Amino acid sequence: MQQVRSDERVELLRGVWLFERCTKAELAAIARMATPVTVETGHVLATEGTPGHEFVVVVEGTASALSRGQEIGQVGPGSFFGELALLDGGPRTATVRALTPMLTLVLDRSAFDELLEQAIPSVGRRMLVTLAERIRSERLRSERLHARRLSLPSE
């Protein structure tokens, strides 16, 4: 498997919704903290229900995401998981198991916290704005769906 160049790391992170408002310099700082990790077929990268401590971006290879033992999807190059673990360390919502050999970029929560607190606090502000937009969008979508249900004729 190949190594991940600095510019490739930045481009991969640019595709992560949580970082969509970050500048190129901020993305480069985050990318410097990401560690390339090679994963063997069958290795479990995340276990449903356990606390999350890292964020993973898939560079090469494919993994299966399972919830309650059922496959809910696959993650491949450019995909990512664990982004919310960077914020709250909450429980994983799925188990992720490598289907093929993989190359990933792993961002540890403690190093990310240090970056936000000391090096580039503006990243945290940008992430908050992005989260607020996502929450607002989901709330509006939910309200529209609820309104449609109320307007359906009852049987």
In a domain, 155, yes or no: no
In a domain, 112, yes or no: yes
In a domain, 153, yes or no: no
CA 22 – CA 146 distance, rounded (Å): 34
pLDDT at 1: 56
Domains of the chain: total: 1
In a domain, 129, yes or no: yes
In a domain, 152, yes or no: no
In a domain, 31, yes or no: yes
Closest CA to 78 of 108, 57, 98: 57
CA 66 – CA 145 distance, rounded (Å): 27
Walking along the chain (155 residues) 10 residues at a time, the average pLDDT comes out as 78 82 85 90 95 90 95 91 79 94 90 71 68 73 77 69
Asked whether the beta carbons of 46 and 93 are under 8 A apart, the reply is no
CA 104 – CA 123 distance, rounded (Å): 22
Asked whether the beta carbons of 95 and 66 are under 8 A apart, the reply is yes
The first and second tokens of residue 84, run together, are: 């919310």
pLDDT at 31: 85
In a domain, 1, yes or no: no
- The span from the first CA to the last CA of the chain, in angstroms, equals 59
User: Where in the sequence is the domain holding 69, given as residue range(s)?
Assistant: 6-146
CATH code of the domain containing 76: 2.60.120.10
pLDDT at 125: 67
pLDDT at 63: 97
pLDDT at 139: 77
In a domain, 67, yes or no: yes
